[in-house]
Structure 1
């Protein structure tokens, strides 16, 4: 049903990331009018114990939403109306529920890197089939990475207590409105899901044998933009009831919120993990036997390359150096942050406006240090990433590192990240048989001017930073605007709400 737009119409969105939960209020023209956040870190359960407790986590999200609504009741935006609420969450993270919708396990986040050692046995005919096509190792890897197989191994009692498995998105939406139906655009995980047709797989599919899961545990699916129910809240003496709109996974919302709604644009999310994405109309994954993902509409799929270490490398590097140099108070306080290191590099090592490209300068400066061929911070430490050769100093042998040493290593990391994005771009172009004309970037990494220059140099594409660093919240707001009838389609909504 079409809604009449009003200058006082707002959309509330929640963007649940790996390091914070952000709440936003957006207007009909995509303008951000209010923002609030709660810090967290899903890798540090001891610092934020509530983030692994589903009920407490839902309370935190509800507190954020109430704060957004309070702004329209007694705050700066009094008199405005919140037309709908939508959420976007990090993917492949689960909540197990009992028969009364009560959580029976802590939240299982993909980022925690759980790996099953004992996995279900496939029937002999599937084993033979995968061996013939040379994909036995790929299937075995998927089984070990699947959270449901880890749960079956470490919490075997769950098979008797589980009534439903929710993606984090479905659980949080359900706690808000009582409906645990989830969007098919959130089903990006190791589940028996048909990515092409956006529904659960047929009973004879091999995934049912490879994953420790029952069909009865899986939620009903709907299209993104579907109104699931209403969130009821009382802010002081004012009772309010807001529609809850089914959203989409984080990368889809980031892409949508950055204004990407065409197949000629490469979208790069420079977050904790870096993803390199493009919209495609034909179902074709980023490589053989890997699916394309559902997006915000039936028109497109999402082909994605993921660099799991991503900008997490930069954070881990700074934390490692702070610990290593903790006795050097001057160095720690003046230099060891990402922004300070970037500033020091631009002052002492490279010139962003030089006739020589930033890539050429960086490769010359970092000639003596390379990044390990395999970087996996879940299995090794950041200290093992750097390989020095033929250098007049060594970061492992010297008792006191210099600022120059630290800055060169940081620059080497930025250069390596840019090369990884460039390689992913080439793989996507070859696989999808297309040539990208521009690159749109978002995420915390877009604040690095050096990384932007390196990306432009390595990809030879024009770089367009998003108007906001974090675009997932705006993407969720766009879905809310379309789902609640304020815009007829996503093309119109993106045109109106993105700059």
Structure 2
């Protein structure tokens, strides 16, 4: 490494923080700056909104924090964004947000959207996917905005993902990465472009038209140069090329080096996911598309537990006051002490079993799903509840991994684990034991940012292709092997208790929804 080596600026905008990190072409971090993001506002139950200017200011503050060394600015070869997905904002012709960003945890739904009609609607009904299309329509933020905020919708010149909003602020262009289009928008996942005019998605989103959407640029291609206004706000040198990257999960997969079909990337973030890269278009769940990978001509077969390691935050808020207070006294994160809770329980959590569906799904789980903890007795403690929650999330991810294997006709034999939840050794060992596979932690915890930096390195011409960049910039850190006796116990608990649980509770969930009128 020399002081003249180029640097890549990666901006990782997640649910809880935004990080700006300078990487060199070997994957080493030279400077890191993080700014915490406050919880989304909830003007009504289930809503999740964030002020767009506030998010932009946080991004700028994070970037301003990395220029400690005078030489850094002159060495920056490119910048790339990894941004949380499915967060939507309508803007006017100047790129000014017309309302707060509707963030991905938002659960509002639109009622009464006209169904897709005509022969196309008939075809959807005959194909048995009419309910899926109706779900898409109800979840689509564009439909909600058009029906509930018609004045804002009439003023909308562009309808953007949060990534597209940041691109506009950085470059002045209405562009975005094709690998960032994960949400309820008319995107053709197979072709990685906006859907053709004949697609049912346009009819399911009757108020949306192509002129409202940004131009798409593929990962590794240049979106445009950083403009003077953004340079002054962020400290990024003017005219630095902004390279199209991908959504945060796609960047994370790349940053762990999990680019072969026999490796699964587990992400232990607010949303917990299992991802496998495929060069074939395979729906991991029927009618649920694979998402664009950061690699060219590839897809991420992803199954998500939408409130996966959010359950750790939930547990800390509701039951973790002792750890929170003690952590403040000794100057560590509460999660460090909560990791110790795993040692105060035993594998199987003394017979407690958690189903981690604190948020519902579309097909697996279905829209009726809820969370459950079963098996309580007088002997159980907070430690047992905590272990049961983590075990439940990992059971759900293992089920997703096995579903992907069946759908893609592949065999996964190792795991790369990323996200804040992977920092604890106890969690990593639990992962290896439940999956029965070696679980590797990358050399850096900043895998989403590293993935963006890898894409920036390719876009800047430092590496000729993605595979060479991944080989040069990623490394395996600690590896945790399954413990035979513990793994055997988890195999039995998973197959004999966890897998049957959802089908047994599903009719009860449906009846609860009918009786209470509450739809989570």
Q: C-alpha deviations, 1:330-374, integer Å up to 9, x for none?
A: 89989994322321432x434xxxxxxxxxxx12x431x332574
Change (3 A) 1:238 1:94: closer
1:433 corresponds to which residue?
409
Tell me the TM-score normalised to structure 2 length.
Answer: 0.81
1:314 corresponds to which residue?
312
Q: Aligned-residue CA RMSD in angstroms?
A: 3.1
Change (3 A) 1:332 1:21: closer
CA distance in structure 2 between the partners assigned to 1:488 and 1:494 by the alignment:
11
* Aligned partners of 2:327 and 2:334 also within 8 Å: no
* Aligned partners of 2:418 and 2:441 also within 8 Å: yes
- Write the mapping of 1:273-422 to structure 2, written as runs, cut at 5 A: 273-322=271-320, 337-346=334-343, 348-350=344-346, 362-363=347-348, 365-367=349-351, 369-372=352-355, 374-376=357-359, 385-389=372-376, 391-392=377-378, 405-422=381-398
Q: Secondary structure at the match of 2:225?
A: strand
* Aligned partners of 2:355 and 2:392 also within 8 Å: no
Note the C-alpha offset of 1:226: 1.8
1:52 corresponds to which residue?
50
Q: Secondary structure at the match of 2:101?
A: coil
The reply on whether 1:151 has 2:148 as its aligned counterpart is no
The reply on whether 1:498 has 2:492 as its aligned counterpart is no
Higher RCO structure (Cα 8 Å, ≥6 apart)? 1
The reply on whether 1:222 has 2:217 as its aligned counterpart is yes
The reply on whether 1:26 has 2:23 as its aligned counterpart is yes
Moved more, 328-337 or 129-138: 328-337
Change (3 A) 1:172 1:331: closer
CA distance in structure 1 between the partners assigned to 2:265 and 2:235 by the alignment:
45
- Pick from 87, 100, 121 the counterpart of residue 127 of structure 1: 121
Q: C-alpha deviations, 1:303-332, integer Å up to 9, x for none?
A: 110111100011101101147x89x98899
Change (3 A) 1:375 1:25: same
- Pick from 194, 197, 206 the counterpart of residue 200 of structure 1: 194
* Aligned partners of 1:415 and 1:451 also within 8 Å: no
Q: Which runs of 5+ in 2 are unaligned?
A: 44-48, 362-366, 476-520
Q: Secondary structure at the match of 1:157?
A: helix
* Aligned partners of 1:94 and 1:108 also within 8 Å: yes
The reply on whether 1:90 has 2:88 as its aligned counterpart is no
Q: Secondary structure at the match of 2:389?
A: helix
CA distance in structure 1 between the partners assigned to 2:157 and 2:236 by the alignment:
36
- Write the mapping of 1:163-202 to structure 2, written as runs, cut at 5 A: 163-202=157-196
Note the C-alpha offset of 1:294: 1.3
Q: Which runs of 5+ in 1 are unaligned?
A: 351-361, 394-403
Note the C-alpha offset of 1:152: 1.7
CA distance in structure 1 between the partners assigned to 2:68 and 2:6 by the alignment:
13
Question: Runs in 1 of length 4+ with deviation above 6 angstroms?
Answer: 235-239, 328-336
CA distance in structure 1 between the partners assigned to 2:87 and 2:405 by the alignment:
30
Moved more, 294-303 or 215-224: 294-303
* Aligned partners of 1:309 and 1:377 also within 8 Å: no
CA distance in structure 2 between the partners assigned to 1:322 and 1:296 by the alignment:
37
* Aligned partners of 2:41 and 2:50 also within 8 Å: no
* Aligned partners of 1:275 and 1:307 also within 8 Å: yes
Note the C-alpha offset of 1:375: 3.0
Change (3 A) 1:183 1:408: same
* Aligned partners of 2:225 and 2:238 also within 8 Å: no
The reply on whether 1:40 has 2:27 as its aligned counterpart is no
CA distance in structure 2 between the partners assigned to 1:239 and 1:89 by the alignment:
21
